[in-house]
Structure 1
Amino acid sequence: MHHLKLAPSWLRFLIILLLTMGILFRFSNLDGKVFWHDETFTLLRISGYTANEAKQQLFNNRIVSGESFAQFQGANPEKSLNDTIMSLAKQDSQHPPLYYIIARLWVEIFGNSVTAIRSLSACISLLVFPCVYWLCRELFNVPLSVPGVAIALMAISPIHLVYAQEAQEYILWLVTILLSSAFLLRAIRLEDELAEERQKPDLFAIWSLYAVTLAISLYTFILSAFVAVAHGIYVMIIAKFKFTETVRTYLLASLVGFLAFMPWITIVIGDFFQFLISADKTTQSDIIPIFPFLSMQLSRIFFDIDLSSENPLSKLIALTLLILVGYSIYFICRATNYKVWSFIITLIVVPALPIILPDLITGSIRSSTEAYLIPSYLGIQLAVAYLLATQLYNGRRSRRSFWHIIMALVIICGLISSKVSFQAETWWNKGMNYGNPQVAQIINQSNRPLLISDALGNNYGDVFSLSYLLEPKVRFLLVNNQKIPKIPDGFTDVFLLNPSKAWGKIIEKKYKFKTDIVYSDNYYSIWKFAKTRNLRRRNISPNNQLPAELSTKPTILP
């Protein structure tokens, strides 16, 4: 690797340029995208209230304004930090409390706005760059070339930009994975270097820090347990499956990390297996064939535009990137020793297996599991960074020129994807609330609109998410257990959010109205009361269910 030790000046300049652009992307337009269902639950946990408490106060068959939601969307004097932790323990134990504790302290200083809470993730994402530099130094033992290329790739990676602007714990999880992995590699390297000198205090300090960062990672996201398993398999591989001193020390450090997590394990153990099956109790998701899903996610690491369309250019780019990923993994296995490639392979494969294996039986996977593959994204980016860094100035001129073109393609794809993503008002990760801008536009066009909803299913989070886009003139009539709403006079238009078939018919019968669908997508629909009985039969099937063409993409009717 001697040819990798010093990067040419043009590469150093390019790395700095891409890093600067990546930072600008992360802090631009933070409040521009939909503040969706899961993010509203983040602020609910920060507020210290449980969902049941919020439903009791809001969903009680009364007319409320959008200001009524503010009490449950951020820090408030009525609830303390302890209430934040307790609300997670009661209703969201699959989400450990570390991120929410940090977020609570953050919004107490900077406020409860969308920009404020998302800026926390953007700031945390800056820690990714020094951490990935250190991890690459420990893994590849080169000062700039591979670490620099890895920083550049992660700076403009659209998948990292998504989570750097999301009010959730996933970008913090990435930082903790990087730190714990770097401490592990550092400890193993010191074990080898100091084998004869036996400088135990230095080793003890590094292994202790590994235990601490592992515990921090577990308190950030519970699937860190599978990253720890990947670390364990890696340690066994480099020890050639012998019970060496390194293996014993690793097991002790891991045990300390898990013992530190025991207070939360006692809370989560009861529904941990249910969490693995359902992934998220409050989030509805698409079911996608597993291999198209995985190919789409691999491509999104570098290119995130129009992947689901039939655009030939986007398909060609996606295929090229998939080939690049496959060749990168092959190349690193062939060109490096087993202490390098085994770390990357275990990081890619082991944390992903618990997510993918249960879905292999049915041949489909939930679209809400993208963030759970962050360790695999990291491993893939390390492999691609190593391939590009080694090939940029290796071999004949024609070979180097080819890899310059490939790197230029990767950079252009990342920059274009990041630019389009940070300017967009919604994106694929917004899940069930992807269509909120269109829904809000429909409702805001009315002079005095009223939105009716119950608290069943995901409706609770959908109402909170919509409230961020609706104008102050909009009023909400929120009912519990699908009670018949008491609709007062004085509203020009009345809308119904995602009603069940039976509830919609009851309302129609009582008020002698007909409900006309004005918006529908895969997750929910908006219906509008119409006093006329001349219903648009072309838009609604005879049994009052959505026609097939409305179930695949958002539809707005005139």
Structure 2
Amino acid sequence: MHHLKFAPSWLRFLIIFLLTMGILFRFSNLDGKVFWQDETFTSLRISGYTANEAKQQLFNNRIVGGESFAQFQGANPEKSLNDTIMSLAKQDSQHPPLYYIIARLWVEIFGNSVTAIRSLSACISLLVFPCIYWLCRELFNVPLSVSGVAIALMAISPIHLVYAQEAQEYILWLVTILLSSASLLRAMRLEDELAEERQKPDLFAIWSLYAVTLAISLYTFIWSAFVAVAHAIYVMITAKFKFTETVRTYLLASLVGFLAFMPWITIVIGDFFQFLISADKTITQFDLIPIFPFLSMQLSRTFFDIDLSSENPLGNLIALSFLILVGYSIYFICRVTNYKVWSFIITLIVVPVLPIILPDLITGSIRASTEPYLIPSYLGIQIAVAYLLATQLYNGSRSRRSFWHIIMALVIICGLISSKVSSQAETWWNKGMNYGNPQVAQIINQSNRPLLISDALGNNYGNVFSLSYLLEPKVRFLLVNNQKIPKISDRFTDVFLLNPSEAWGKIIEKKYKFKTDIVYSDNYYSIWKFTKTRNLRRRNISSNNQLPTELSTKQTILP
């Protein structure tokens, strides 16, 4: 790979340009997208409150304004950093605390705004670039070409942009995967180079670094355990399944990393057994997608992410094109590189995704919410494609090189277009059940004095929090407990009901003699609009004219 050691000046300038564009995309329009349910849970954890505490204080059959949610959406003087950790341990132990600790400290400095909390992920995403450089340097032993192309691809990758602009731990998880993988490769390379000298201090330091980065990765996202399994399989493959000194040292370093994670593992296991013996189990509805179309779509989103629905012929063509590119990249890297190179990429792509795919092969469907778990696979795919493009820019005849220049240009154009559209969009596919919230907010905001009624059952709790970021101050919330019949004041011109059960909605409709219209509906939830009948409206107007003082006294919570 001597021809890959130094990149020509045009490639260096291209890498710098794409890196600059990637950074600009990451910090562009941070507060423009829907602050969706999972992000509101992040802010809730940062606040130190549990979901039960928030429900008890908000969903108590009173009318409140949007400002009432602020207490549970960011750092506040009533709760400390220890409360943040304890709220995770009590109700959300599948999310380890590292990211939330960092986020709590971050918002204490920069504030609780959407821009502030998302800027943390955007800043963390910048660490991806030096980390991918180090990983490619250790894997391919070349200074720039492959590493530079990998940096360029990740800078404009729409899938990485999605998580770089989200108030969640996934972009930090990517950084920890890169660090632990690079430190592992470094340690194994030093084991080979220093086999005769046995310079123990150097080896001890780098293996200690692997143990630390593995522990950090586990404390970031629990799925790192399967990345560690991929590392273990890779070490065994390179050792040809012999119990060598490298294998023994690796096992010791991994054991130290997992022992450091034991305090949180005990909490996770305890919560799991408590769930098994509990009689109160909540059944969550998931959006199921056929496995192979889902995987094809996610693979394409690594490079291009605009309308890849199965109904769109162009989307299918683009998905097929990138499927061919990725397939050939993996074939190429397996054919031309040493097994110590390609086996690392294959294990990184395959092993972490198997626990997701295998259980769903029986049903043939997969949950749409599993996209973040594919981050290690995205990484392995991009490294394989980067190696293919970097090598083919210089190999073969002139016509062959020109062909690959065109392929690389198309990949870059797809990434730039996708990143531009995604960074400026108001909502995106990853917003899940809150994808339609901008449309819902627009409908409600058009009313003069709107009232939004909701209970805390199912996903309604998170939907209300997400909508509160988009609704105007004039909107009031009547949050009820256990679908009680709400007391609706006559002073509201329009009454909206968020995702009610049909029985509950009909009871309210009958009691108040409302006319009902479903003004919004998708796969996740619906919005009902209640309008007073003409006779009832005439009576209410007369009543309001006679008793203005009484109404203003009773509704003291309203401004």
Confirm or deny: 8 A CA contact 2:156 2:419 kept in the other structure.
yes
User: How does the TM-score come out when normalised to structure 1?
Assistant: 0.94
Structure 1 residues 262-271 or 312-321, which shifts more?
Answer: 312-321
- Residue number in structure 1 paired with 2:323: 322
Structure 1 position 319, deviation (Å) = 1.2
CA distance in 1 between partners of 2:175 and 2:295 (Å)? 23
Judge conservation of contact 1:448–1:474 (CA < 8 Å) in 2.
yes
Tell me: CA distance 1:278–1:461, structure 2 relative to 1, closer, same or farther (3 Å). Answer: farther
Residues paired across the two proteins, number: 558
Describe the superposition over 1:122-157 as per-residue Cα deviations: whole angstroms up to 9, x where unpaired.
000000000000000000000000000000000000
**Contact 1:513–1:533 (Cα < 8 Å) also in 2:** no
Give how far 1:488 is off. 1.1
Q: Is the 8 A contact 1:426 1:434 kept in 2?
A: yes
Report Cα offsets for 1:512-548 as digits up to 9, x if no partner. Answer: 2232100001101000012349999999999999999
Q: Deviations over 1:376-407 (max 9, x none)?
A: 00000000000000001101001101100110
Q: 1:446, CA displacement in angstroms?
A: 0.2
Aligned partners of 1:516 and 1:536 also within 8 Å: no
RMSD: 7.2
- Give the C-alpha shift of residue 316 in structure 1: 1.9
After TM superposition, give the deviation of residue 352 of structure 1 in Å.
0.3
CA contact (8 A) 2:19 2:155 kept: yes
Assess, with a 3 A threshold, how the Cα gap between structure 1 residues 548 and 279 changes in structure 2: closer, same or farther.
farther
Q: State the shift of 1:494 in Å.
A: 0.2
Distance in 2 between the 1:512 and 1:519 partners? 21
Q: 1:547 to 1:245 in 2, by over 3 A?
A: farther
**Does the CA contact (< 8 Å) of 1:519 and 1:555 recur in 2?**
no
Q: Deviations over 1:290-345 (max 9, x none)?
A: 00000000000000001005443332222111100000011100010100000000
Distance 1:178 1:551, change over 3 A: farther
Contact 2:110–2:116 (CA<8 Å) still a contact in 1?
yes
Bigger Cα displacement from structure 2, 300-309 vs 282-291: 282-291
Shift of residue 247, structure 1, vs aligned partner: 0.5
Query: Structure 2, unaligned stretches of length 5 or more?
Result: none
Aligned equivalents of 2:311, 2:548: Cα separation in 1: 23
The farther-off stretch of 530-539 and 462-471 is: 530-539
Per-residue CA distance 1:411-433 (angstroms, 9 max, x = gap):
00000000000010000000000
Residues 264, 557 of structure 1: CA spacing in aligned structure 2 closer, same or farther, 3 A cutoff? closer
Q: Do 1:477 and 1:485's aligned partners in 2 also have CA atoms closer than 8 Å? A: yes
Q: What are the superposed Cα offsets for residues 151-200 of structure 1, whole Å, 9 maximum, x if unpaired?
A: 00000000000000000000000000000000000000000000000101
CA deviation profile, 1:248-271 (whole Å, cap 9, x unmatched): 001000000000000000000134
Distance 1:272-1:240 versus aligned 2 partners, 3 A rule: farther
The aligned counterpart of 1:98 is 98
Moved more, 271-280 or 335-344: 271-280
Relative to 1, partners in 2 of residues 1:257 and 1:178: Cα closer, same or farther, differing over 3 Å?
Answer: same
State the Cα deviation string for residues 347-373 of structure 1 (Å, max 9, x = none). 000000001111111000000000010
Residue 272 of structure 1 aligns to a residue in which SS? helix
Distance in 1 (alpha carbons) for counterparts of 2:193 and 2:141: 14
The residue that corresponds to 2:243 in the other structure is 243
Bigger mean CA offset, 302-311 vs 76-85:
302-311
- The aligned residue for residue 431 of structure 1 is 432
Deviation at 1:505, TM superposition (A): 1.6
Change (3 A) 1:252 1:156: same
1:63 aligns to what SS in structure 2?
Answer: strand
Distance in 2 (alpha carbons) for counterparts of 1:129 and 1:77: 36
Closer, same or farther: CA 105–32 of 1 in aligned 2, 3 Å: same
| SS of alignment partner, residue 352 of structure 2 | coil
Match for residue 386 of structure 1?
Answer: 387
Matches of residues 119-518 of structure 1 in structure 2 within 5 Å? 119-271=119-271, 284-308=285-309, 310-518=311-519
**Structure 1 residues 466 and 268: alpha-carbon distance in aligned structure 2, compared to 1, 3 A threshold:** same
* 8 Å CA contact retained: 2:426, 2:438: yes
Taking the aligned partners of 1:413 and 1:195, their CA distance within structure 2 comes to 46
Quick one: distance in 2 between partners of 1:358 and 1:543?
Answer: 60
Q: Which moved more, 1:266-275 or 1:142-151?
A: 266-275
| Gap change, CA 1:550 and 1:435, over 3 Å in 2 | farther
Compared CA separation, residues 346 and 321, structure 1 to 2 (3 A): same
Distance 1:285 1:454, change over 3 A: same
CA change 1:539–1:428 in 2 (3 A) is: farther
Residues 453-498 of structure 1 deviation map (CA, whole Å, 9 limit, x = unaligned): 0000010010000000000000000001111111111000000000
Counterpart CA distance in 2 for 1:193 and 1:203 is 10
Displacement of 1:551 in angstroms is 41
Q: What is aligned with 2:539? A: 538
1 CA distance for matches of 2:556 and 2:165? 27
- For residue 276 of structure 1, report the CA deviation from its aligned partner: 13
CA distance in 1, matches of 2:542, 2:256: 60
Q: Distance in 2 between matches of 1:181 and 1:545?
A: 74
* Larger Rg computed on CA atoms: 2
**1:314, 1:541 → 2: CA distance?**
58
The CA distance in 1 between the partners of 2:31 and 2:363, in whole Å, is 38
Task: Give the Cα–Cα distance (whole angstroms) in 1 for the partners of residues 539 and 147 of structure 2.
Answer: 58
For 1:90 and 1:273, locate their aligned partners in 2 and report how far apart those are by CA, in whole Å. 13
Question: Quick one: structure 1 residues 11 and 491, their matched pair in 2 at CA, closer, same or farther if it must change by over 3 Å?
Answer: same
Cα gap change, 1:399 to 1:476, in 2 (>3 Å): same
Identify the residue that residue 19 of structure 1 maps to in structure 2.
19
Q: Deviations over 1:212-254 (max 9, x none)?
A: 0000000000000000000000000000000000000010000
**Identity among equivalent pairs (%):** 94
Q: Is the 8 A contact 2:63 2:557 kept in 1?
A: no
- Answer yes or no: is the 8 Å Cα contact 2:513–2:533 preserved in 1: no
Distance 2:545 2:365 in 1: 29
Describe the shift of the 1:252–1:471 C-alpha distance in structure 2 as closer, same or farther (beyond 3 A): same
Is the Cα–Cα contact under 8 Å of residues 279 and 369 in structure 1 kept in the other structure? Answer: no
How far off is 1:509 after superposition? 2.1
